[in-house]
Amino acid sequence: MRLHLLGIPHTQTTSEFSHCAFTGKVKRFSPMLQSVGYDVIHYGVEGAYSGAKYDVNVMTYDEWMHIRTKLFKELYGDRQVMSSDFIGDLANTGNELYQKFNTQLKIELAKNLDNNDIICLPFGYAHESAISEFPNAKVETGIGYPNSYQPYRVFESYAWYHYEIGREGKSGHDYHWVIPNYFDISEWDYVETPQKYIAYFGRISDIKGLRIVYELAKHRPDLTFIMCGQGDATPYAGLPNLIYKEPLHGKARSEFLGNAMAVLMPTRYVEPFGGVTVEAELCGTPVIGSSYGSFTETIKHGSTGFNCRTLGDYLAAIERIEDGHISRQHVRTFAVERYDMYKLAKDYDNVFQQINDIKNSSGWYSYRSNIGQVTRAI
C-alpha cells in the first residue's frame, strides 16, 4: 500500500518552515510511516526535504517564490517581508498560490495513483479541487483545524474531536480515530538545569494568550519573559522584562524551549493540540497552560505542568516550578512515552490497514481487528 502525502502550498517542506505546525507534521510523516513499511510519495515545492521515498515537485521553487512574494505584497504593501510575518496569512484556497499548486497536483496524482493507494490530507479541504475526482480512499491526517470533511479522519486530540463533532451536530463516527501529534525525539535535547526565564513560543496574538503573558510579566518583574514567534509584538511592549525574539528553527528552537524554566501556553480558544507543549516537555521543560482544549491531555496537571484558570493560578504555577515541585526528568519521560513518532507509527499503520479493509472488503462488517496492535493511550 502506498501513501500520497500532499504538502502545504504556502510553505516548503523543510526545517525552515517547521514553526508551521502543519508543515512540521508533513516533514515527519514520511519517515514515520516508512519505518513500518509504507512507501510514501510527497507532493510539494521544489527543494522539499520530506524524507519520503519520492518527492514530486508540484511547483518549481522560482514560480512558488514569485507568487508568494506577489501575495505578500498584496497583504503588506512594498515593505520587505520579515521573518515575524505570519505565513498563515497565505493559507487561502482561493488565492493564486493554492490554485496553481492544486492544478499541477491533480496532474501529478493522475500519473502516480494506483487503485489501492491512499491520499493523505494534512491540511484538510485545501487540496479538494485536486483530489475530488479520484476514487481512492482519502484520509485527513492529524486534524488540528476546523471543518474537517472526509469520511476517514484522524484527529490530534479527543478535545478537538469532540469539539468538532459537536459543531457538526453529530454524535460520532466509526471511521474517525484519535492519534496525537508525533515528534522526532532526537530533535529535542533534555536540559536538566534551565536558565531563569519563562518562554512563550507561538503566534504573537491575543487569541494565543499574549495578554496573559503580559500580565504575568507585569506581576513578576524579577523574572525575564521571552515571547518568540510570528506576529506583531508591539501591543505587548513596554515592560523591560518582556522581550520579543523572532521565530527560531531547528536546534535553536530546542535550545530556547529547553533552557526555559517553564513554557507558557495560555491559549484562549479550544486548542486542537498545541505542539509546542510537547516540544517543551521533550526538553524536560514543564508547561503552564489553559484548563481546556488539548492541554487537558498534553499536560499532566501537577506532574508535567499546570492547567490554569486565573491569574492566581498562573502565578502559583510559576512559584511551584521555581520551588522544584516538577521533575524535569519525569516531564521528559512522559513526553517520550506518548509522542515518539516511531511508536505512533504503529497506530497510523492500524488506521490505514483498517481503511484498506473497510474500503475493499465488508465495510463495517469486516471481521478483521487491529485492536491488539494499538500502542498508545493519551
**For the segment 320-348, what is each residue's pLDDT rounded down to a tens digit?**
999 999 999 999 999 999 999 999 999 99
Q: Which residue has the higher pLDDT, 210 or 80?
A: 210
Residue 203 located in a structural domain: yes
For 145-167, the pLDDT digits (tens) are: 999 999 999 999 999 999 999 99
Q: The sheet that has 39-45: what strands, in order across it?
A: 54-59, 39-45, 2-6, 118-121, 137-143, 152-155, 176-178
Residue 378 located in a structural domain: no
Task: Indicate whether 161 and 234 sit together in one domain.
Answer: no
Question: How far apart are alpha carbons 348 and 29 in whole angstroms?
Answer: 10
Q: What is the mean pLDDT of the chain?
A: 93
Mean pLDDT over 291-301 rounds to: 97
Instruction: Write the single-letter amino acid at 204.
Output: I
**With bands split at pLDDT 50, 70 and 90, how would you rate the model's confidence at 90?**
confident
Question: How far apart are alpha carbons 66 and 61 in whole angstroms?
Answer: 9
Question: How far apart are alpha carbons 242 and 363 in whole angstroms?
Answer: 56
Has residue 377 got a pLDDT over 50?
Answer: no
Total domains in the fold of the chain: 2
Share of the chain above pLDDT 90, in %: 82
Residue 115 located in a structural domain: yes
Task: Indicate whether 155 and 202 sit together in one domain.
Answer: no
Task: Indicate whether 164 and 219 sit together in one domain.
Answer: no
pLDDT at 44: 97
Mean pLDDT over 248-277 rounds to: 96
Question: How far apart are alpha carbons 187 and 279 in whole angstroms?
Answer: 9
For the residues of 303-358, what is the DSSP string, one character each? TTEEEE-SHHHHHHHHHHHHTT-S-HHHHHHHHHHHHBHHHHHHHHHHHHHHHHHH
Within a 10 A sphere around the Cβ of 78, how many other Cβ atoms? 5
Task: Indicate whether 171 and 190 sit together in one domain.
Answer: no
Question: How far apart are alpha carbons 33 and 2 in whole angstroms?
Answer: 10
Q: Domain range spanning residue 121?
A: 2-182+342-373
pLDDT at 376: 53
SS3 154: strand
Mean pLDDT over 108-132 rounds to: 97
